Amino acid sequence: MRQIFFICKYCLLIAFLLITMYLVKICVFGDYIAEALMARALPLSVVLLSMAILFFALQYKSKE
Protein backbone atom coordinates (compact mmCIF):
# COMPACT_ATOMS: atom_id res chain seq x y z
CA MET A 1 0.00 0.00 0.00
CA ARG A 2 2.87 2.31 0.76
CA GLN A 3 4.25 2.01 -2.75
CA ILE A 4 0.96 3.23 -4.19
CA PHE A 5 1.28 6.46 -2.22
CA PHE A 6 4.82 7.02 -3.46
CA ILE A 7 3.66 6.46 -7.02
CA CYS A 8 0.80 8.93 -6.50
CA LYS A 9 3.17 11.52 -5.07
CA TYR A 10 5.46 11.22 -8.06
CA CYS A 11 2.48 11.46 -10.41
CA LEU A 12 1.41 14.65 -8.65
CA LEU A 13 4.91 16.05 -9.00
CA ILE A 14 4.95 15.23 -12.70
CA ALA A 15 1.50 16.80 -13.16
CA PHE A 16 2.66 19.95 -11.37
CA LEU A 17 5.76 20.17 -13.56
CA LEU A 18 3.71 19.68 -16.72
CA ILE A 19 1.26 22.41 -15.69
CA THR A 20 4.16 24.74 -14.90
CA MET A 21 5.84 24.02 -18.23
CA TYR A 22 2.54 24.63 -20.03
CA LEU A 23 2.10 28.01 -18.33
CA VAL A 24 5.69 29.03 -19.07
CA LYS A 25 5.22 28.02 -22.71
CA ILE A 26 2.13 30.22 -22.95
CA CYS A 27 3.90 33.17 -21.32
CA VAL A 28 7.09 32.91 -23.36
CA PHE A 29 6.00 31.71 -26.78
CA GLY A 30 2.36 32.75 -26.95
CA ASP A 31 0.46 35.96 -26.69
CA TYR A 32 0.42 36.75 -23.02
CA ILE A 33 -3.14 37.63 -22.06
CA ALA A 34 -3.64 37.56 -18.30
CA GLU A 35 -7.33 36.65 -18.41
CA ALA A 36 -6.77 33.76 -20.80
CA LEU A 37 -3.84 32.51 -18.73
CA MET A 38 -5.90 32.56 -15.54
CA ALA A 39 -8.79 30.82 -17.28
CA ARG A 40 -6.48 27.98 -18.29
CA ALA A 41 -4.36 27.77 -15.16
CA LEU A 42 -7.00 28.00 -12.44
CA PRO A 43 -8.88 24.76 -13.21
CA LEU A 44 -5.61 22.86 -13.56
CA SER A 45 -4.36 24.21 -10.24
CA VAL A 46 -7.60 23.38 -8.44
CA VAL A 47 -7.54 19.79 -9.72
CA LEU A 48 -3.90 19.38 -8.75
CA LEU A 49 -4.48 20.78 -5.27
CA SER A 50 -7.51 18.57 -4.64
CA MET A 51 -5.58 15.48 -5.76
CA ALA A 52 -2.70 16.39 -3.45
CA ILE A 53 -5.01 16.85 -0.47
CA LEU A 54 -6.73 13.55 -1.20
CA PHE A 55 -3.53 11.53 -1.43
CA PHE A 56 -1.90 13.11 1.60
CA ALA A 57 -5.05 12.51 3.65
CA LEU A 58 -5.09 8.87 2.59
CA GLN A 59 -1.43 8.51 3.48
CA TYR A 60 -1.97 10.07 6.91
CA LYS A 61 -4.93 7.77 7.54
CA SER A 62 -2.95 4.68 6.55
CA LYS A 63 -0.20 5.54 9.08
CA GLU A 64 -2.66 5.46 11.98
15-43 pLDDT per residue, tens? 878 877 887 887 777 767 777 777 777 78
Q: What pLDDT is attached to residue 1?
A: 62
pLDDT at 14 over 80: yes
**Cα atoms in the Cβ-side hemisphere of radius 13 Å centred on 63:** 7
Q: What pLDDT is attached to residue 6?
A: 74
Burial of 59 (0-12, 13-18, 19+ CB in 10 A): middle
pLDDT at 62 over 80: no
- Where residue 64 falls among pLDDT bands split at 50, 70, 90? low
Calculate the alpha carbon distances from 2 to 5, 16, 34, 44 in Å.
5, 21, 41, 26
Q: Are 44 and 21 in contact (CB under 8 A)?
A: no
